[in-house]
Structure 1
Amino acid sequence: MAQALDPENTLRMELKDGVVTIGMRPDLAPNHVERIKTLTRRGFYNGVVFHRVIDGFMAQTGDPTGTGMGGSDLPDLKAEFSPPSEAQHLRGTCSMARTQNPNSANSQFFICLADVPHLDGQYTIWGAVVDGMEAVDGIKTGPSARNGKVEDPDAIIRMWVMADE
């Protein structure tokens, strides 16, 4: 890693196979980074499952209902899309999930399991895995016939902001 991590903008996420470190990008998506930190500090993500995981594509979490339809009690966020020249959906990228409405991101996010350039400029990138991608790779996947819906899904054991350690 070329530069030291900023503890206030670094997340740690404990999964069954290890701890994942995510460097957040307030320079790209200040409102989304602030939302992730607020929810993390509330303990919102602790125990939340990866309800949709598609091998070679992405692992999605952040819905407390585990259905893919839920969110937090906070209002949805206005999109903060980055032009592909500034940020791309590469393996390890963390980006917000949303409905067809670009301004509907709330609490759900996904981690790219591979490079997915067709998402560039259409979803808000707020960070990237800087360590522990092997633990992300160990997340249980769902069948493609069910759009990645996972039966008995893996969960985030605990997530915290590094500054709070």
Structure 2
Amino acid sequence: MIKKHIFGTAVLFSTLFVIAGCNSNNHTASSSSSLATTTETSEKIDVNKLDLPQLDPAVKDNEDLVELQTDKGNIKIKLFPEIAPKAVENFITHAKKGYYNGLTFHRVINDFMIQGGDPKGDGTGGESIWGEGFGAEPSNQLYHIRGALAMAQSQQPNSIGSQFYIVQNKDDMSDGLLKEWIPNKIIEAYKKGGYPSLDGSYTVFGQVTEGMDVVDKIAAVKTDGNDKPETPVKIKTIKVLQEAKTK
């Protein structure tokens, strides 16, 4: 059976988008419980004391910085190898080898996300640098706030390959989030957009530092019935501008 990755034809995401897309209040509480069940130490710590690197615009020595160059403009994104090591290694290695050069954003949903990284260009392709899929790395330090970079996956376990997405939604998504599980600063960030219903199940491994206007520009292109841009939006290349010194 052909499996499309996140936001494709897989039941998981077609169903999720229908529920979440209709009313932003429908999914927020479930996102908190999802994160709680996937974070083993959540009950033992004060979530408001967690390091939240997405909220710091500076690129630290223990973070990578890449520039995703598209035909709509450039997007700078910092990556978090200490929190999502496999996702970052996979993405950085693919970028260095030119794997993403010339690929498209094959799935674009305005007020949701833009998705790319599939050599087939239809959501069914792509592989990891290890030649097989790997599992999600959810964290209580990284969230699907606006500008988050995350790895796509299908319904199957260990199905992460090369596809990624950038969260673009601008709507206030903070209503109903449980403060005992979600840091207050993240709840504040969700007032500016994001998609908290994805937290706890997918790997966030980066955050846009410059170029959200480009993300918005890509999200606004005209698409067909399958959310594929009618005029292809291409990734020219992904340049590694800084590598973490702790690697």
TM-score of the two chains, using structure 2 as the length reference: 0.60
- The answer (yes or no) to whether the contact 2:78–2:209 under 8 Å persists in 1 is yes
- Are 2:199 and 1:142 aligned? no
Which structure dedicates a bigger proportion of its chain to strand? 1
Name the structure 1 match of 2:204. Answer: 125
CA distance in 1, matches of 2:69, 2:213: 12
Task: Give the deviation of 1:150 after TM superposition.
Answer: 2.4
8 Å Cα contact 1:50-1:62 kept in structure 2: yes
CA displacement 1:111-138 (0-9 Å, x = unmatched) = 0002111111111111010111111111
Q: Does 1:57 align with 2:112?
A: yes
Q: 2: distance between equivalents of 1:90 and 1:141?
A: 24
1:11 aligns with 66
Percentage identity across paired residues of the two chains: 40
- Amino acid in structure 2 at the alignment position of 1:97: A
Count of matched residue positions in the alignment of Structure 1 and Structure 2: 160
SS in 2 for 1:130: strand
Per the TM alignment, residue 153 of structure 1 is displaced from its structure 2 partner at its CA by 2.0
Residues 1:12 and 1:55: Cα distance change in structure 2 (over 3 Å): same
1:10 counterpart letter in structure 2 = L
Aligned with 1:135: secondary structure? helix
The whole-number CA distance in structure 2 between the counterparts of 1:72 and 1:46 is 15
Root mean square deviation of aligned Cα: 1.9
Question: 1:16 offset after TM fit, Å?
Answer: 2.0
Matching residue of 2:135 = 78
Q: Equivalent residue of 2:235, what SS?
A: coil
Greater Cα radius of gyration, structure 1 or 2? 2
| TM-score between both structures, scaled by the size of structure 1 | 0.88
Contact 2:149 2:204 in 1 (8 A): yes
Cα distance in structure 2, aligned partners of 1:72 and 1:121:
22
Does structure 2 conserve the Cα–Cα contact (< 8 Å) formed by 1:7 and 1:162? no
Which runs of no fewer than 5 residues in structure 2 stay unpaired?
Answer: 1-55, 170-193
